[in-house]
Amino acid sequence: MFNVSMSSPVPGQIFQQTSAPGNERFSRLAAIIQHVRPDVLMLCEFDHPGEGGDDGSVENFCRHYLASPQHQQQPISYPYRYCPPTNTGLMSEYDLDGDGELTLPADGLGFGEHHGHFGFVILSRYPVRESQVRSWQQLLWRDFPNHCMPENYYSQQAKQVVRLSSKNHVVVPVEIGDQLIHLLCCHPTPPVFDGAEKRNARRNHDELRLLTEIIDNASHLRADDGLRGGLALNDRFVVMGDLNADMTDGDGMKSAIRNLLLHPKINRSASAGRMTPKSFGGRFHLPWQQRQGRATEWTHISGLRLDYVLPSANLDILQTGVFWPDKKDPLRSLITDEKGRCRPQAGSDHRLVWVDIALKA
């Protein structure tokens, strides 16, 4: 799981920037992926068409960066790719922010300057059953039981169209030999940039709750395909995403992320136990405000654990990690600028998180 921050407010710019090798930031991002070598990878904040599919940006990144050695790392190939539709930059038919005008990004069903801005994609070395993907992109926030939608912020018209998922919530089946693993992926809105109504914090909370409802196979859920429920009782799954929530620090409402991490169907060892992904380099990072959480578990330069790979309890975990190299590690140059500082401009403000699992025969 890696938030690569390959998004631009200008539509088509990521396609142009990936159309040839030579972008140093993209080269560093690719080198990190090549070093860790995940078999299945979710990339957050990777612009692609809002209705889904690849406009060539994903193909370009795979061809010009991942398929060529970057910073002395070996090439890697991802023949299977899934680019889901997204709510980001999808214009609402009604005024959402109450300013009397329909404009992006504020009146998008998900925050974005254009449809597809801040989307996410999945890369895999194993076949993806794209025809069996289930999504909850169209679920209205008001229709989610016990929702936390602010009462007096949205107009009655706006409440009829505001969706819960700021990007999308998808279950993506991946074939690994004769076995099936379900990827449960989303990228909830950050719980910041709010007024007193706390609409983003509330939406983040409910987007996380939607994850647990999908895991619980809640009967009230209706996916975009019209089918009821979520994951089946014995499905093996992995939750992946920049969840924009930390159980200890940050501005979010803590109950939803806590309930997800401590869910009985989530492997506790990797979510909140001894196998929780960690790094060496995070220990030496000094965020701009004091934090209470474990620095080794941070995945963002603000000193927060925001990015997650959470296998189900019926999967065995071998190893885990966060790519945040130690000060003396030569790979540290992949995340720092020319002065050795951790800056978003050097690559991303997030760190790649990985978990190795063992599949039983």
Q: Give the confidence band of 342 by pLDDT, cuts at 50, 70, 90.
A: confident
Peptide bond into 287 cis (omega under 30): no
What residues does 353 pair with on adjacent strands? 322
Q: What is the pLDDT of residues 169-216, one digit of tens each?
A: 999 999 999 999 999 999 999 999 888 999 999 999 999 999 999 999
Query: Token pair 């010009």 is at which residue?
Result: 64
User: CA 352 to CA 329: how far, in whole Å?
Assistant: 16
Residues 6+ apart with CB under 8 A from 340: 332
Q: Give the confidence band of 361 by pLDDT, cuts at 50, 70, 90.
A: low
Q: Give the pLDDT confidence score for residue 64 in this predicted structure.
A: 98
Q: Is 5 helix (H, G, I), strand (E, B) or coil?
A: strand
Q: Is 200 helix (H, G, I), strand (E, B) or coil?
A: helix
Q: Is 88 helix (H, G, I), strand (E, B) or coil?
A: strand
Q: Are strands 80-82 and 40-46 parallel, antiparallel or unpaired?
A: unpaired
- What structural domains and CATH numbers belong to the chain? 2-358 (3.60.10.10)
Query: What average pLDDT does this structure show over 334-338?
Result: 90
Query: What average pLDDT does this structure show over 275-279?
Result: 98
Percentage with pLDDT > 70 across the chain: 100
Whether the predicted pLDDT of 76 surpasses 70: yes
Instruction: Compute the half-sphere exposure of residue 201: CA atoms within 13 Å on the CB side of its CA.
Output: 15
Q: What is the pLDDT of residues 27-61, one digit of tens each?
A: 999 999 999 999 999 999 999 999 999 999 999 99
Query: What average pLDDT does this structure show over 268-294?
Result: 93
Whether the predicted pLDDT of 360 surpasses 80: no
Phi, then psi, of 80 in degrees rounded to 5:
-115, 130
Q: Closest Cα partner for 309 from 262, 352, 354, 350? A: 354
pTM score, whole prediction: 0.96
User: CA 16 to CA 57: how far, in whole Å?
Assistant: 8
Distance (Å) of CA 3 to CA 106, 143, 178, 306: 22, 30, 30, 10
Instruction: Please answer whether residues 338 and 47 qualify as being in contact, where contact means their C-beta atoms are separated by less than 8 angstroms.
Output: no
Q: Closest Cα partner for 121 from 3, 247, 267, 294? A: 3
Q: Give the number of residues written for the chain.
A: 361
Q: Give the confidence band of 315 by pLDDT, cuts at 50, 70, 90.
A: very high
Mean pLDDT of the chain: 96
Instruction: Compute the half-sphere exposure of residue 185: CA atoms within 13 Å on the CB side of its CA.
Output: 29
Query: What average pLDDT does this structure show over 280-287?
Result: 90
Cβ burial 124-140 (10 Å sphere, 16+ → b, else e): bbeebeeeebbbbbbbe
